[in-house]
Structure 1
Amino acid sequence: MSEIIISALLLVGAGFALIGSIGLARLPDFFMRLHGPTKATTLGIGAMVLASLVHGRTLAPLAVTVFLFITAPVTAHVVSKAALKRGRKVPEQD
């Protein structure tokens, strides 16, 4: 049963990471490109680390997951604030 859970978590994680990577490559604007990796890829890496947690039955991957979920949004916020401060314009909404 644990192999099925691990496989499902790895497939979900790989799917989210792929979607985030495609978003990074295909989205037209800097701020939209920033959104893809920080949201989808964070969930993807989180699912993969949770698969590692189920496989290894230790709590070390849990610390990595908590660190990832805390630092990724903060990093995206800091990068977007720096881009705004350097003069990058936010695209107009239709």
Structure 2
Amino acid sequence: MPNSSSANEKTFIIASQTADCTGVAPMKCLQVKEKESDNWENLYTNIEGFTYEPGFEYVLKVKTEKIENPPMDASSIRYILVKEVSKTKK
């Protein structure tokens, strides 16, 4: 029987390199996807509790929380690290 808290949990695959992206200003974004078959997408916010090291591909379990009144230039979702499933040297 499904656990209700898993509704807001996602598995993220994090690429071994960041990408140049532009939020409010040019910055480096984590490249994420939820399934191997997906295309990489830029994540314009940090994952709380996660420390990224270039050169490693990660599989993370993250929890998402809606931010009620986000700043204009910020994400409306908070990502919080639940568990680092794997870290692979690339």
Which is richer in strand? 2
TM-score, normalising length: structure 2: 0.26
TM-score, normalising length: structure 1: 0.26
Q: Which has the larger radius of gyration?
A: 1
